[in-house]
Structure 1
């Protein structure tokens, strides 16, 4: 299945090109993009092969790019109380972000926690392997960016740290 960021990149590329229509299929998932009258790409929601067969009789609607981004990932407004930070702990791999070793356990760290370079701050699961992610710096966690259970990308910021 395509990730939101991959879909956004495809939309940008289609918008910047002279291509008017684009279809991509992989592993039973398909995405179709078609430029509207204004020349901007519109996305047809991705569907599995089973879902596609079930809705073939229904006329397909195109969703403007602005709606796709709003529906898939709500825009988080920056609040004025975000603390200063010197360092971001980023994901070293693509995987699922977990704040604790199991759902019953307390999170490894929370906002305000002091960390050392060898402090485990989270786990990123990739292909059934649970990888402990260490802080790599001494300081205080000022913001937890990723949400528990969220799919994270390589290099995606997970935490913000104020170095000591």
Structure 2
């Protein structure tokens, strides 16, 4: 994605009634947010432009000494077992079950998927550490879609 495309997304955000715009395309994730005091910000692995900020990929969100120990090529996916709405916490405003860097054991609850008015707890299939969360709270997820990456 180039700077012209990012600027056009910012224009769409400004012209519409939206306050937040999230776009994911492969490894690229753009988050634009409109506020009264803040300028729009984008999160992308590309070089930052004026008015846009860049954040580090999920791997570097871990402490530096820890990230050198983990082999992200060996990360295992926890996939959605059904179609539904992804919830990272047991209730609105509660702390999420897991975050990046959380250590989990087999059987620990990672999230909830709401399907047909039923809340289904999704548990870890193995022990490890959460290195990436692939879905956002309130997202509709598809069957087989990766939800978490665990090393």
Per the alignment, in what secondary structure is the counterpart of residue 107 of structure 2? coil
Task: Please state how far the C-alpha of 1:77 moved relative to its aligned partner.
Answer: 1.4
78, 84, 94: which one aligns with 1:89:
78
Distance 1:130 1:137, change over 3 A: same
* Alignment correspondent of 1:77: 28
Task: Please state how far the C-alpha of 1:111 moved relative to its aligned partner.
Answer: 0.2
Determine the C-alpha separation between the residues in 2 that align with 1:146 and 1:98. 9
Q: Which has the higher strand share?
A: 1
Runs of 4+ in 1 over 4 A off after TM superposition: 71-74
Task: Please state how far the C-alpha of 1:105 moved relative to its aligned partner.
Answer: 1.0
* Alignment correspondent of 1:114: 103
114, 117, 133: which one aligns with 1:128:
117
Larger radius of gyration: 1
* Alignment correspondent of 1:48: none
TM score, norm. by length of structure 1: 0.51
Uncovered stretches (5+) of structure 1, i.e. residues with no partner: 1-70
Task: Please state how far the C-alpha of 1:91 moved relative to its aligned partner.
Answer: 0.3
Uncovered stretches (5+) of structure 2, i.e. residues with no partner: 1-20, 30-44, 46-55, 60-71
Task: Please state how far the C-alpha of 1:90 moved relative to its aligned partner.
Answer: 0.4
- For 1:13-162, what aligned pairs fall within 5 Å after superposition? 73-75=23-25, 77=28, 79=45, 81-83=57-59, 84=72, 85-162=74-151
Determine the C-alpha separation between the residues in 1 that align with 2:110 and 2:99. 9
Per the alignment, in what secondary structure is the counterpart of residue 28 of structure 2? coil
Distance 1:72 1:147, change over 3 A: closer
Per the alignment, in what secondary structure is the counterpart of residue 118 of structure 1? coil
Determine the C-alpha separation between the residues in 2 that align with 1:97 and 1:149. 5
Q: How large is the RMSD of aligned CA atoms in angstroms?
A: 2.2
